[in-house]
Amino acid sequence: MASSAAAPTAFRYPNAGGRRVRLRALVKRLSGVDLLPSDAVAQAFIDGLNDGDPVAERFVAETHHGELGARHARDLVEKAQRDGIDKVPEAPESMRVLFEEFEQLPDWVVPELVEEGAAVWRRWAYALGALGNAGTNDTYTEGWLAVPLSLSGGYAGRRALHRYLETSRWWIEVCRPGAILTPGSLGRNISLHVRIMHVSVRDRVRQHPEWDAERWGLPISQSAMLLTLLGGSVAPAFGLFLLGHLTSPREMRAVLHFNRYCGHLVGVRCDGYFPETVGDAWRILLMADTARSYDSAGSGAELVESFVPAFAPTASHRGLARLRAEYHYRVQAGYLGLYMLPWNRRRYRLPSALPGIVLLLLRSPLIVAVELMRRASSRVDRRWQQANVRRWDAWLRWQSAGKAAEVEAATPLRR
């Protein structure tokens, strides 16, 4: 659904200059290839900065922010997820519409391709979250991305690690074999709660005095969520080559398709401009990079400088647990050092990345060897996926001290 609102002034495209625009002109002149999207796609993306999720917004307004209240609304959703929406006679009409849309499989979905994409996530496993968040930290220079997370407490201050663990649980559950297309699976159930949470946070941030709609558009907009999906598909597909993960062009297309369906479940539509090819996905990422305003100020700094230190060993860590915490702290710092643009990294006070980079590069020959073997043997591939997800899940359980992460839509803003 296109928005009629004015383009956010902070998204400086196509008016931004700089080296990327000059590079675009040079490459296009020499090769005929355009590094940036067509005018129609660019305009659709800019319009999407003002677009939200009307179906879920109606439900949240009527329930979470209405007389029913957030706790009762969550109970109704969980009952419908467990027993079916038809077994919840007290469900309001807005909830029935939400469930109908959520359960309907879009015409564009290719189930086999979705499962191939989920398998890519299982191979990447822990590396997906670490690289994805390094890329996300790189985007926190922008107020339209950083301010909602700062206000809501997501990835900020002492909650930085907790929110990462919540997201990691979702990543793990949606990529389990067959899970994302199976009604009632934990991955799908979490996805609906994530969608509701986004809407609830969006509404509260939109009304907050720190939010400048003329400058930034709509909080957690369609286009902002699209960038997150690309950060979990084409970005790691290329970035993880350095660390030994050999993702083929077909696998890149599959993981992009998988991410599109994951996005559909959490309310991302981007009709007409969701990229169908890896090249088109990179054009959107380059456009967003070209359009930067570097206006997140303290909100961005808080998010970036909170993330890696959240993994540091605490006073409660002893012996092997302390070594384990130190290892993950260093590895996360290494990912940030490798995948955050150097000129953006220099804006913040960050731990040394060198020890973590060394650890990551030392592991890469072993990963290359397994990647080559799994291409020759489907049995090796299955075991590689299973082992990676098992280690990822074990890390999550250890890091969260066995406490289940729960996506909450009603958490108040921090300020």
Quote the radius of gyration of the chain (alpha carbons, Å): 21
Residue 267 has pLDDT above 50, yes or no: yes
The span from the CA of 106 to the CA of 87, in Å, is 24
Q: What pLDDT is recorded for position 120? A: 98
The span from the CA of 129 to the CA of 117, in Å, is 15
Q: What pLDDT is recorded for position 271? A: 87
Tokens of residue 262, six digits:
């994951």
Residue 377 has pLDDT above 70, yes or no: yes
Which of 175, 174, 166, 177 has its CA nearest to residue 191? 174
Q: What pLDDT is recorded for position 156? A: 64
Residue 122 has pLDDT above 60, yes or no: yes
What does pLDDT average to over the chain?
A: 92
Q: What pLDDT is recorded for position 411? A: 66
DSSP letters spanning 315-383: TT--HHHHHHHHHHHHHHHHHHHHHS-HHHHTTS-----HHHHHHHHHHHHHHHHHHHHHHH-HHHHHH
The number of CA neighbours under 13 Å toward the Cβ of 128 is: 30
Identify the residue whose tokens are 């009603």. 410
Q: What pLDDT is recorded for position 1? A: 46
Q: What pLDDT is recorded for position 65? A: 86
* DSSP-based three-state secondary structure for 183: coil
The span from the CA of 397 to the CA of 11, in Å, is 39
Per-state percent for the chain, helix, strand, coil, to nearest 5: 65, 0, 35
Instruction: Return the percentage of the chain with pLDDT > 90, whole number.
Output: 82
Q: What pLDDT is recorded for position 66? A: 87
* DSSP-based three-state secondary structure for 67: coil
Q: Give 169-199 pLDDT, tens digit per residue.
A: 999 999 999 999 999 999 999 999 999 999 9
Angle, alpha carbons 108-253-223 (nearest 5°): 70
Here the contacts of 68-73 (C-beta below 8 Å, separation 24 or greater) are 68/92, 70/200, 70/409, 70/410, 71/410
Q: What pLDDT is recorded for position 21? A: 72
Q: b/e map of 215-246 (b: 16 or more CB within 10 Å)? A: ebbbbbbbbbbbbbbbbbbbbbbebbeebbbe
The span from the CA of 172 to the CA of 118, in Å, is 10
Q: Give 63-76 pLDDT, tens digit per residue.
A: 998 888 989 999 99
Alpha-carbon distances, residue 118 vs 114, 177, 303, 338, 372 (angstroms): 6, 7, 29, 25, 19
CB atoms closer than 10 angstroms to residue 163: 20
The span from the CA of 191 to the CA of 170, in Å, is 7
Q: Is the pTM here over 0.85, yes or no?
A: yes
Q: What pLDDT is recorded for position 160? A: 78
Q: Which of 15-29, 103-117, 275-289, 380-394 has the lowest mean pLDDT?
A: 15-29
| H-only helix segments in 104-125 | 111-124
Segment 374-387 shows an average pLDDT of 98
Segment 322-341 shows an average pLDDT of 97
Residue 395 has pLDDT above 90, yes or no: yes
CB atoms closer than 10 angstroms to residue 402: 8
Residue 50 pLDDT level (bands cut at 50, 70, 90): very high
Q: With beta carbons less than 8 A apart as the criterion, state whether 221 and 51 touch.
A: yes
Would you say how long the chain is, in residues? 415
Q: Give 291-312 pLDDT, tens digit per residue.
A: 999 999 999 999 999 999 999 9
Residue 2 has pLDDT above 50, yes or no: no
The number of CA neighbours under 13 Å toward the Cβ of 313 is: 14
Q: What pLDDT is recorded for position 410? A: 59
Residue 402 has pLDDT above 70, yes or no: no
Q: What pLDDT is recorded for position 274? A: 97
CA 148 to mean position of chain CA atoms: 14
Which of 310, 299, 313, 312 has its CA nearest to residue 347? 299
Residue 19 has pLDDT above 90, yes or no: no
The span from the CA of 218 to the CA of 397, in Å, is 35
| H-only helix segments in 63-185 | 70-83, 93-103, 111-124, 126-139, 143-152, 160-174
Residue 148 has pLDDT above 60, yes or no: yes
